[in-house]
Amino acid sequence: MQHSFTRLQNMFRARGVRASRLPGLGAKKIGDMAGLLSENWQKLALLALYGLGLLLGAKTAANAGSGWQARLLELLRDQRLRRAGQSVFANAAGYFGVDALFLAAAFLLGLCAAGLPLVLLLPVLRGLGMGCLSGWLYLSYGFQGVGYCVLTLYLPAIVSMLILLSGCKQSMLMSGDMALMISGRLEQAETAPRQYFSRYLMLLPLSACAALLHALCFNMFAGMFEI
């Protein structure tokens, strides 16, 4: 039986058919995919929480009253006027300050044994802000608002989101190790403090690049929309 299957496989190869399309040979790929999901379940969970924040933000924008919408309109216009009069690097510094604040919160919560639940809230809060702003712009300006979001917000927001999720993953692992050490179920943290610090230090220049990208997108495209 095995010999017959080998002959059949060789016949398909000779005709230019990939062996991975033969029955039963996809099991390795499925196993590799399962292993990949197992190794990255923290990032997937954090990404789901960010998506939850986006949905909650969009729902909040949809349910906001006219008074709140008028207030948001005033705040957005004031912010646009202020940023329009600043240089690219000044705007980048402002965006970097917000991203660094979230990273600092994740970093400090990772050093606390009880910080894990609060770490999980950070992607939700980040997504909540983006979802609320995007939803409100769409409801207020239609396709003008969608275009503004796509060209000035979404690309840098994706980069900032990936950086934050990477930091939150490290904080989850560190906070979990701290909790296990306090409970006596772990003698030494699997993530060394020096390694934890160095990984966060690597995220700072990436966050600065994301802030610069955000400022560039705003300076290049914000003037195209009457918002």
Q: How far apart are CA 216 and CA 152, in angstroms?
A: 8
- Rounded Cα–Cα distance for residues 187 and 40 (Å): 25
Residue boundaries of the structural domains of the chain: 25-224
Check residue 17 and give its pLDDT: 40
pLDDT value for 4: 45
Note down pLDDT in tens along the chain; length 227 residues. 444 444 544 544 444 444 344 344 454 454 444 454 555 778 889 999 999 999 999 898 888 777 777 777 777 778 878 888 788 999 999 999 999 999 999 999 999 988 989 999 999 999 999 998 888 888 888 888 889 999 999 999 999 999 999 999 999 988 888 888 777 766 666 667 888 999 999 999 999 999 999 999 998 998 888 77
The rounded distance, in Å, linking the Cα atoms of 110 and 178 is 9
pLDDT of residue 186: 65
pLDDT of residue 209: 95
Cα–Cα distance, 44 to 117 (Å, whole number): 16
pLDDT at position 159: 95
Exposed / middle / buried, residue 157 (Cβ in 10 Å: 0-12, 13-18, 19+) = buried
